[in-house]
Amino acid sequence: MRYEIDASELNAGESNRITMTEVLYQADVSGNPVGRPIASHEDKDSTAQTVIVAPTLGIGTTAGFDKTEGPKLKNLAVDDVNPQTIFDTIRLDNFQDDQTEYVAFAELVEYGTNNVIARGSQEFKGIDGDYFVDVLIELSADFIKNVEPNVSNAFTVLEYVYKKSDLPGGVVTSTKPVQSVTPIATHIDPYSAEQTVGLVRQADNAVLGTTATAGGNKTITAGETATITDVVKYKGLIPNTWYKLTAELMDKSDLSKPVQTKTVIFQATEADGEQSVTFDEVTAQVGHDYVVFETLSISATNANNELVKNSAGNPATEYVVGYHRDAADAGQTVTVEAPGAFPVTISKVDIAGNELPGANIQIRQGDKVVEEWESTTTARVISLPEGDYVFHEVAAPNGYVAVTDINFHVDAKGQVSVDGVAQGATLKVTDEASNITTTATDKADGDKVLPSTGGIIVDEVAFTGLTVGEKYIVSGKLMLKDDSATGAETGITAWGSFIAAEANPKVKLEFVVPGTFAGEELVVFERAWDANGNLENASGTQPQDFTQGEGTAPTPPSDAKVITHEDINSASQTVSVMPTLTPGTQEITISKVDIAGAEVEGASITVTGPNGFKEAWTSTSTPHVLTLEPGEYVFHEVSAPKGLVEVSDIVFVVNTDGTVVATKYNNNPIVDGDLANIVDSNGAKLTITDKPAVEISKINIAGDELVGAQITVSGPNGFEETWTSTSTPHLIKLAEGDYVFHEIAAPTGYLAVTDIKFHVDARGQVTLTDVNGNTVTAEGHKLIVTDQAEAGLQTPSPSATPSPSPIETPSPKPAPSAAQTPSPSPTLSPSPTLSPSPTPSPSANPESPKLATSAVDKLDKDKVVEPSGTVIDTVDYSGLTVNKTYTIVGELMDKNTGLGTGIKQSKTFTTTTANGSIDLEFTIPAGHEGQILVAFETLLEGSVTLADSGIKDGVTEKPSLASHRDINDFKQTVYVSQKFGTTAELSEGNTVVDTIKYVGLPVGTQVVFLGTLVDENGKEVAKAATSVVAPAEARVTFTLSDAQLETYAGQKLVVFEEGYVVVPTKTPGSETLQVQDENGNRVDLNVIKIGEHKDLKSVPQTVVIPTTSVVPATTPSTPPLSSVTEVPGSSIDGNWWIAIPVLIGAGLLSSAGSSDVHVSSDKPNMAPVPTPSPTPTTAVGAPTTSAPAMPTPAVSGVANAAPQQDKPENKVVGIAKGKNKSGVLANTGASVLGIALIAAITLLLGAALVKRRKES
């Protein structure tokens, strides 16, 4: 239904909400209602039925990169170093107000979308008539670095205007528009040309250097008429390309419009060169210096005004490639001197002599301000007649102290002197760095977090270098950290005064924070100055404790030496306010510390929990706060900082009273008080301790680190790590348990130690259990092993022994023995008894047996096995004794539980070589659908039966020679396919929601489901996808357009599903799935297909599109078809002939398996700029048992196949098919199996026809 509303009758500047109500009747042939209503919707508070009619207050906007005559520089070429500012001018028509306060918000979005890039806001007061307000939007250099180079990228500004009193608390807390408040005016057209700007990041920007002169001079005398010549030197142009150079002569006293504009079109003959532009008859006036702005663009025409074509033969597009628009640049400036005036250079520098940008400077003569500017990276040249002047620094750059006023004199020759000391024609003024440091905390508990209800922030300010006995004032204010570079004012201030009792005192300011800043970050800005007698008793000489003042802080006098500390990104000045909790949630603090109790920075952490909850972060110097619903969660440390060891997974429970209790560590129950040195629960805080890595040092008797020792450490559960010692100790991450230090080979000239046994406790502390006659010590988490020099040899210097490449990770192959690897000769002191070739140490042990394995499906050698299929586990062994009998015993483990499945196998063999391989075959019985299985293997000596091995949960009762038992080893892993239980339902008239149930996958496994909505004939209608982390339930949502609802009204639509598990690497049978993450970046995931459900006759997968979108008031007694959940399975009727098209289809599908299939929604062309090319691929890591290591992509946002035509889509999902299970003819993509099937069927049909013909 459509309504027309006359907005002229509404009140300007006010919210106008209109709620629609609907009543449905049966109608007679004339359209008149009959009887009682059969359905209604009359909720006046329903937001879905409510619209807001825009007020009659007119709004018009213009956005650009400069403010000259309104924003007019619409397209800009930039580098990736400097930030940029977009000026958005909002025009409000027929404004009828007095002095009411308003706020204008501006959001920069990608053209044609609502993807916000940056924001800005501006407060103002209303006046009668038309009103203009400017909002600045800052683009950071980091953002510009990610803009696609050499392509015009379009962005649009959306505007919202609010009454400030309508905002929560009547204050502006961020640059983000407030969605809960109705604006008085908006302009939110993402396709508006006036609001759109273009940005080109040039890979090689044109570099412009300019010099403006008047007859070769940088100054002209007032009253003269001069010619100003601007010489532009350029670099990096494209030879033989036409360019347009636009030069604007600007009056520096009024930069709103140019005095003259000149344009030169030229063809660059070389990449580097120069062009000149001349401005004639320029009249010089006192106080009106001139500066030239230059803009260089690709030209669409040549010098004869003929259209130019680009390399593709199309008309060239004009866009900016370089510019130089710096009003403070002396090179672009020509100064107008009063008769008798002289050019004087003012230089503002730091103590290193570097020009300091950001100082606000005035040159005064008496009460008159002669010149005023903000310093830049170049010195300022001004024109001053003979006389006395004052240099006044209004404000110093952040981090520096403003100087007190400096008196100077300019003589009759233009020379500057200070206190009679000649300075030449330059006045150089140095700012010193500020001597103030601050720390802001919560007064209640001393941490960096305030409750959501507010509290008191204590800011400790530490000074250095104050004058004892002098009075000082310190003033502070709280800033809201938002998207801007400086933060937003909160209106919360504090100040106080004190007389310094020492040179380096500390004082504390207290700020009272109300409960209106929940979820925000507050930063303290401070300023301090010498009171200098401006307050009562300010000149007192007795030390006075700090006293916090009341009311508004005083303003420092103009000649005060002001110290500032104002950094919106300072962590020490920042305090966070907890967010307001939603009902049923609790705030839990997780602290990651070392064994000394200090917060650990750099640990990568993930917490997963109910309803698919997942939050990942990297630990910092402060604890992390989570908002969690009551339930059970898993803490998983993905990686620890260097030198520390990751803890095993910790299960903890959040109670309804907000307390947290750790219940399991490494899947083992935690008893009260147990493991408190690893995980400690205290109220709403969970403290988890990382123990240090064990530091193993290999030294000689002089205590020097030895280079070249080949070392292996082995321990529980088949752990082994091998490396070669270097000039620094080796860090190794060891779990609690008993270990053996084995020196495979010592450096040349040294004797290898015999095996050393040691124990590592839960805190990472090392104790020796068997030194075996060696010189070895244990100190805390350090193990120090000493090698003895061979007899008759002096101790060689570590630097004298060349170092082989160190082995920092466990090697799958055995390290060579000392007898196999010749050692380089060390540099030794002369001795007549030395042997030229030292023999290997007799104590060196022979190579230990090792196993490496790979499990695949026997049928096609990929990682997916069908139920009742067979897994081949190839076991590579090394280091065995030739002509000796061994037995390999294996069991398939359930990755979800970590327990054995009872699927076991063994094989006995006699070696012919030390290194080789054998295959174990495991047959999968029924009941393992959907499980992820991992093969565990153990090497036993002699001939051992499977029963005698006593293998259970992958571990044998008999002693083992070697084993390979890693539940997270992808090479040992296979996936059992499954069919899904699905239910499709029609929701809200135009949305089909398909709920998918799956089984067997471990917690933390990332699963991707692709859904296809088809009609009754199997023709595709729409596609959608979703990604979940097991065991979360999956839902795929299809949104149908009005056209689709009309096309399929009264018809049945069926949902087909395919399921994939994300795996860490490409492998036979894996596929590449292209998705988009939350930031719109393309992510390529390696996936393995674990099942599908495609059945046109499936009732639970079927929905019926209604013939009308109105829902009746009563529900029919017969349940809808979509309410039945299907039990996984399949059925085929008894008509044998149906197998013919099925077999033909199978052959065709086999041939299609070698091609690429992409699902995407095409993005319409976007005027006025071309569509950017795809985002670069993002690499994704591997998942673990507890939580995936890769980010979960936002697959659920995949566009349907029929997007709205008035909004361009930009989301792509596809599968690049990587596996091919059938034979394929070379270079054709044709399936041998498919062709064979077709041929066979054709022959059968032909034979049947011949027989029938003969019988007839």
| Residue that wins the pLDDT comparison between 172 and 1026 | 1026
Compute the average pLDDT of residues 440-454: 89
Tell me the pLDDT band of 810, cut-offs 50, 70 and 90: very low
Domain boundary residue, one of 176, 201, 226: 201
Pick from 408-422, 697-711, 1025-1039: least confident: 1025-1039
pLDDT in tens, 256-276: 889 999 999 999 888 888 999
Predicted local confidence at residue 1250, as pLDDT: 52
Tell me the pLDDT band of 1143, cut-offs 50, 70 and 90: very low
Domain assignment of residue 1149, yes or no: no
CA dist 229 and 992 (Å) reads: 70
Tell me the pLDDT band of 56, cut-offs 50, 70 and 90: very low
Q: 254: exposed, middle or buried (C-beta count within 10 Å: 0-12, 13-18, 19+)?
A: exposed
CATH number at residue 627: 2.60.40.10
Predicted local confidence at residue 1157, as pLDDT: 32
> Which candidate, 1215, 1156, 1221, places its Cα nearest to that of 1008?
1215
CA dist 181 and 467 (Å) reads: 52
Cβ(888)–Cβ(904) below 8 Å: no
Predicted local confidence at residue 407, as pLDDT: 94
Same domain as 1076, residue 1187: yes
- With b for 16 or more beta-carbon neighbours within 10 A and e for fewer, the 1126-1162 pattern comes to bebeeeeeeeeeeeeeeeeebbbebbebbeeeebebe
Cα distances from 871 to residues 69, 158, 908, 977, 1046, in angstroms, run 75, 59, 18, 13, 50
Predicted local confidence at residue 433, as pLDDT: 73
Q: What secondary structure does DSSP assign to 1036-1060, as a single string? A: EEEE--HHHHHHTTT-EEEEEEEEE
Is residue 520 predicted with pLDDT exceeding 80?
Answer: yes
Tell me the pLDDT band of 713, cut-offs 50, 70 and 90: very high
- With b for 16 or more beta-carbon neighbours within 10 A and e for fewer, the 57-67 pattern comes to bebebbbbbbb
Percent of the residues in the chain that have a pLDDT greater than 70, as a whole number: 74
CA dist 27 and 6 (Å) reads: 30
Is residue 1174 predicted with pLDDT exceeding 50?
Answer: no
Compute the average pLDDT of residues 821-850: 42
Same domain as 1021, residue 911: no
Predicted local confidence at residue 1223, as pLDDT: 34
Neighbours of 117 (CB within 10 A): 18
Same domain as 957, residue 870: yes
Predicted local confidence at residue 646, as pLDDT: 87
Domain assignment of residue 1187, yes or no: yes
Is residue 77 predicted with pLDDT exceeding 90?
Answer: no
Neighbours of 5 (CB within 10 A): 11
| Residue that wins the pLDDT comparison between 490 and 190 | 490
Same domain as 387, residue 455: no
DSSP code of residue 621? S
Cβ(783)–Cβ(775) below 8 Å: no
Neighbours of 767 (CB within 10 A): 10
> Which candidate, 737, 975, 746, places its Cα nearest to that of 856?
975
CA dist 1103 and 160 (Å) reads: 42
Tell me the pLDDT band of 389, cut-offs 50, 70 and 90: very high
Compute the average pLDDT of residues 827-835: 33
Same domain as 772, residue 676: no
- With b for 16 or more beta-carbon neighbours within 10 A and e for fewer, the 380-405 pattern comes to bbbbbbeeebbbbbeebbebbbbbee
Cβ(365)–Cβ(387) below 8 Å: yes
Predicted local confidence at residue 129, as pLDDT: 63
| Cα 187–chain centre separation | 30
Domain assignment of residue 20, yes or no: no
CA dist 756 and 743 (Å) reads: 9
Compute the average pLDDT of residues 862-873: 89
Same domain as 151, residue 179: yes
Is residue 357 predicted with pLDDT exceeding 80?
Answer: yes
1070 CB-near residues (< 8 Å, 6+ apart): 862, 863, 1063, 1086, 1087, 1088, 1218, 1219
| Residue that wins the pLDDT comparison between 681 and 713 | 713
Give phi and psi for 869, each to the nearest 5.
-85, -175
Domain boundary residue, one of 543, 576, 609: 576
Neighbours of 314 (CB within 10 A): 8
| Residue that wins the pLDDT comparison between 493 and 45 | 493
Predicted local confidence at residue 311, as pLDDT: 62
Is residue 540 predicted with pLDDT exceeding 60?
Answer: no
Cβ(510)–Cβ(443) below 8 Å: yes
| Residue that wins the pLDDT comparison between 54 and 1088 | 1088
Predicted local confidence at residue 651, as pLDDT: 93
Q: Backbone dihedral region of 667: left (phi > 0), alpha (psi from -120 to 50 degrees) or beta?
A: left
Same domain as 1206, residue 1077: yes
Same domain as 955, residue 1028: no
> Which candidate, 974, 969, 1031, places its Cα nearest to that of 1005?
1031
Domain assignment of residue 219, yes or no: yes
For residue 30, give the 3-state DSSP assignment: coil
Give phi and psi for 513, each to the nearest 5.
-105, 120
Strand partners of residue 388: 409
CA dist 1247 and 1226 (Å) reads: 31
Cβ(995)–Cβ(878) below 8 Å: no
Pick from 615-624, 877-886, 924-933, 1139-1148: least confident: 1139-1148
pLDDT in tens, 1112-1128: 333 333 333 222 233 33
Same domain as 779, residue 646: no
**Tokens 């339902």, located at residue:** 985
| Token pair recorded at residue 831 | 């001795």
964 CB-near residues (< 8 Å, 6+ apart): 718, 851, 852, 853, 875, 936, 937, 972
DSSP code of residue 905? E
Strand partners of residue 439: 460
Domain assignment of residue 603, yes or no: yes
Predicted local confidence at residue 1159, as pLDDT: 35
CA dist 989 and 983 (Å) reads: 17
CATH number at residue 134: 2.60.40.3930
Cβ(1043)–Cβ(1202) below 8 Å: yes
pLDDT in tens, 1013-1054: 999 888 999 888 888 888 788 888 988 888 888 888 888 899
Cα distances from 350 to residues 363, 427, 1107, in angstroms, run 19, 14, 77
| Residue that wins the pLDDT comparison between 696 and 1130 | 696
Cβ(137)–Cβ(106) below 8 Å: yes
CA dist 215 and 209 (Å) reads: 19
CA dist 937 and 954 (Å) reads: 7
Same domain as 459, residue 406: no
Give phi and psi for 1098, each to the nearest 5.
-70, 120
Predicted local confidence at residue 934, as pLDDT: 92
Is residue 99 predicted with pLDDT exceeding 80?
Answer: no
Compute the average pLDDT of residues 916-944: 91
Same domain as 346, residue 268: no
Neighbours of 276 (CB within 10 A): 11
Q: What secondary structure does DSSP assign to 370-403, as a single string? A: EEEEE--SS-EEEEEESEEEEEEEEEPPTTEEPP
pLDDT in tens, 607-627: 999 988 999 999 999 999 998
Q: 261: exposed, middle or buried (C-beta count within 10 Å: 0-12, 13-18, 19+)?
A: middle
Domain assignment of residue 272, yes or no: yes
Nearest-Å Rg of the Cα atoms of the chain is 39
| Residue that wins the pLDDT comparison between 659 and 145 | 659
| Residue that wins the pLDDT comparison between 707 and 46 | 707
Compute the average pLDDT of residues 341-361: 89
1006 CB-near residues (< 8 Å, 6+ apart): 1027, 1028, 1029, 1030, 1061, 1062, 1183, 1188, 1190, 1192
**Tokens 């938002």, located at residue:** 482
pLDDT in tens, 763-805: 788 999 999 999 999 988 899 999 988 864 443 333 333 333 3
Compute the average pLDDT of residues 452-472: 84
Query: What's the number of CA atoms in the CB half-sphere (13 Å) around residue 354?
Result: 6
Domain boundary residue, one of 743, 762, 791: 791
Q: Residue 151: which domain range?
A: 54-201
| Token pair recorded at residue 576 | 């966070």
For residue 1190, give the 3-state DSSP assignment: coil
Cβ(242)–Cβ(316) below 8 Å: yes
| Token pair recorded at residue 607 | 């917490």
| pTM score, whole prediction | 0.29
Predicted local confidence at residue 797, as pLDDT: 38
Cα-Cα-Cα-Cα dihedral of 1154, 1156, 1157, 1158, to 10°?
A: 170
Same domain as 1031, residue 1102: yes
743 CB-near residues (< 8 Å, 6+ apart): 709, 710, 711, 752, 753, 785, 787, 844
- How many distinct structural domains can be found in the chain? 8
Give phi and psi for 610, each to the nearest 5.
-60, 155
Predicted local confidence at residue 195, as pLDDT: 80
Domain assignment of residue 818, yes or no: no
Pick from 22-31, 104-113, 686-695, 1025-1034: least confident: 22-31
Is residue 453 predicted with pLDDT exceeding 50?
Answer: yes
Domain assignment of residue 1231, yes or no: no
| Residue that wins the pLDDT comparison between 1086 and 424 | 424
Tell me the pLDDT band of 1153, cut-offs 50, 70 and 90: very low
